[in-house]
Amino acid sequence: MAESTAERIWHAALGQLEIHVTRSNFDTWLKDTTGLRVDGDTFVVGVHSEFIKEWLSTRMGSVVCETVGGILGQPIRVEFEIAGSNGHSNGHGVPNTNGHRPTTLPLEKAPASQRAISSPATPHRLNPRYTFASFVVAESNRLAFAAANAAVESPGEDYNPLFIYSQPGLGKTHLLQAIAQRAEELQRDAIYITSEQFTNEFVSAIAQGRPDEFRRRFRSVQLLLVDDIQFLGSKNRTQEEFFYTFNDLHSDGCQVVVTADRPPSTLPGFEGRLSSRFQWGLVADIQPPSEETRLAILSAKAIEQRVKLAPDVAHILARKATDNVRELEGLLNRVVAHARLTNEPISPDLAARALAALSPASPCPGDPQAILQAVSSYFGVPVAAITGKSRAKPIAEARHVAMYLLREDADLALKQVGLILGHRDHSTIIHGVQKITRSIAADARAGAQLADIRSSFSR
């Protein structure tokens, strides 16, 4: 089959893969690949380095096979070969280099003026609204707020490292970007970056043969601020690089601040030496806000948007989003937009109409005890075991499903789910819910399993 045909097939496959994988994964691993050829029942994809070849083969091989096979209408194997800068391979995984087999794989390098790593803390990556002044402080976040202030005012002195964790949408990113913007005001050299961006830049530096440049950049700042560190889980090479970066900065008295969705001791896929270092300084959590705090947040956001928000409307919004500040702000934005589009004042009636599309008709929330009993019957595990301390695999699996259903079908807050399941903390519940969510996305059998359980407690 002609190479041009292989390129067209791969172009179509990339279009589908771009929808099914995260943007960062697509840009890092797939974007610059090429369709080389079809050899019988094997489709060959060209990549730029051994590292990318290994990653795609082990992490994304199955989804790529399914995608290409679907386009061709037949089962197909996919292999990855290292191709030269012109997209051609000599068929042995080594770029064509005038007949000479290189000992290392040469990579096309841009001019020096184009190779400098762009600063992750450039203004367009920071939300100007995420400042300390706009952060609503309450009992649920007071410690994290105070520690974040101390970290930028006296970097490396009091809380180093500072580890902030919470469920999504409670202000971790707000605090981290507030540190970055305050550091800029104080003319301190700081980098704000997500763990995925850190991984992407590290992979790019290795692929382009400039790891020393990468290290100089990240090990010569006063403050390193890394968001969502949990996404480094099981990324062994990136973790090792971050480990040495952390050591260099910490030993030089520079400040490290990281955020995650769970405590450092429970981060999955992390080496013990790294998770233990996260506990050297201060570990601060952010709890879901109380109703009073949610009302205060709504008031601050309404002032920011220059709209008048009546107390009864604020109460409607505060009761609809109980444990996610980002969702709370989204509800307010929806109501404000609806009022402006219809040229009406913000009233309870308008709020109800604006939010109606978010609440389609559905059955009443499931009864928690009925859900537990249904899970117990399905898995053949006693309810006492599900709410107990055993971590045996069958019990843990049933417990995770119970977490998901209590959260999604019974519409319980994280704290309530934790109390029902043996006084477990909210980070454990988040982990369980996320695990089942990923299973549903990856395996149709998981969705069918949930449907069976739901049908029993629905009756």
Inter-residue contact 274 to 244 (CB < 8 Å): no
pTM, 2 dp: 0.54
Residue limits of CATH 1.10.8.60 in the chain? 291-356
CA–CA dist 406, 383 (Å, integer):
14
Here the tokens at position 54 are 């290994």
In this predicted structure, the answer to whether residue 362 has a pLDDT above a threshold of 50 is no
Here the tokens at position 43 are 């489709």
3-state secondary structure 17-67: HHHHCCHHHHHHHHCCCEEEEEECCEEEEEECCHHHHHHHHHHCHHHHHHH
Q: If one looks up domain 291-356 in CATH, what number appears? A: 1.10.8.60
Inter-residue contact 144 to 284 (CB < 8 Å): yes
Give the pLDDT score at 406: 92
In this predicted structure, the answer to whether residue 120 has a pLDDT above a threshold of 70 is no
Residue limits of CATH 1.10.1750.10 in the chain? 368-458
Give the pLDDT score at 118: 35
- Residue 412 phi, psi (nearest 5): -90, 150
Considering the chain, what percentage of its residues have pLDDT values greater than 90?
31
Question: Average pLDDT for residues 44-71, to the nearest whole number?
Answer: 84
What angle, rounded to 10 degrees, do the helices at 236-251 and 211-218 form?
40
Give the pLDDT score at 116: 30
Radius of gyration, CA atoms only, the chain: 25
Here the tokens at position 295 are 């009302």
pLDDT digits (tens, 9 = 90+) for 319-335: 888 778 888 888 888 88
Give the pLDDT score at 361: 42
Query: Which of the four CATH numbers 1.10.1750.10, 3.90.1150.10, 1.10.20.60, 3.40.109.10 does domain 368-458 have?
Result: 1.10.1750.10
In this predicted structure, the answer to whether residue 107 has a pLDDT above a threshold of 70 is no
In this predicted structure, the answer to whether residue 397 has a pLDDT above a threshold of 50 is yes
- What is the DSSP pairing of strand 255-260 with strand 162-165? parallel
pLDDT digits (tens, 9 = 90+) for 366-391: 788 889 988 988 888 899 999 998 88
Query: Between residues 440 and 98, which one has the greater pLDDT?
Result: 440
Instruction: Return the minimum-mean-pLDDT range out of 65-74, 150-159, 309-318.
Output: 65-74
Give the pLDDT score at 167: 84
pLDDT digits (tens, 9 = 90+) for 281-301: 999 999 888 888 889 989 988
CA dihedral 226, 231, 235, 240 (to 10 degrees): 20
pLDDT-derived band at 39, boundaries 50, 70, 90:
confident
Inter-residue contact 261 to 139 (CB < 8 Å): no
In this predicted structure, the answer to whether residue 341 has a pLDDT above a threshold of 90 is no
In this predicted structure, the answer to whether residue 245 has a pLDDT above a threshold of 70 is yes
Instruction: Return the minimum-mean-pLDDT range out of 53-57, 154-158, 218-222.
Output: 53-57
3-state secondary structure the chain: CCHHHHHHHHHHHHHHHHHHCCHHHHHHHHCCCEEEEEECCEEEEEECCHHHHHHHHHHCHHHHHHHHHHHHCCCCEEEEEECCCCCCCCCCCCCCCCCCCCCCCCCCCCCHHHHCCCCCCCHHHCCCCCCCCCCCCCCCCHHHHHHHHHHHHCCCCCCCCEEEECCCCCCHHHHHHHHHHHHHHCCCCEEEEEHHHHHHHHHHHHHCCCHHHHHHHHCCCCEEEEECHHHHCCCHHHHHHHHHHHHHHHHCCCEEEEEECCCHHHCCCCCHHHHHHCCCCEEEECCCCCHHHHHHHHHHHHHHHCCCCCHHHHHHHHHHCCCCHHHHHHHHHHHHHHHHHHCCCCCHHHHHHHHHCCCCCCCCCCCHHHHHHHHHHHHCCCHHHHCCCCCCHHHHHHHHHHHHHHHHCCCCCHHHHHHHCCCCCHHHHHHHHHHHHHHHHHCHHHHHHHHHHHHHHHC
Query: In sequence order, what are the residues at sequence separation of 6 or more whose Cβ sits closer than 8 angstroms to the Cβ of residue 351?
Result: 313, 316, 317, 335
Query: Between residues 192 and 24, which one has the greater pLDDT?
Result: 192
Residue limits of CATH 3.40.50.300 in the chain? 123-285
CA–CA dist 37, 6 (Å, integer):
5
In this predicted structure, the answer to whether residue 317 has a pLDDT above a threshold of 70 is yes
pLDDT-derived band at 1, boundaries 50, 70, 90:
very low
Give the pLDDT score at 23: 66
Give the pLDDT score at 3: 46
Query: Between residues 149 and 12, which one has the greater pLDDT?
Result: 149
Which of 406, 327, 396, 331 has the alpha carbon at shortest distance from 366?
406
Give the pLDDT score at 84: 64
Residue limits of CATH 3.30.300.180 in the chain? 3-97
In this predicted structure, the answer to whether residue 217 has a pLDDT above a threshold of 60 is yes
Question: Average pLDDT for residues 307-311, to the nearest whole number?
Answer: 88
Give the pLDDT score at 151: 95
pLDDT-derived band at 457, boundaries 50, 70, 90:
confident
Q: If one looks up domain 123-285 in CATH, what number appears? A: 3.40.50.300
Give the pLDDT score at 443: 65
In this predicted structure, the answer to whether residue 459 has a pLDDT above a threshold of 60 is no
CATH homologous superfamily of 3-97 equals DnaA, N-terminal domain (3.30.300.180)
Question: What is the number of other CB atoms lying within 10 angstroms of the CB of residue 273?
Answer: 12
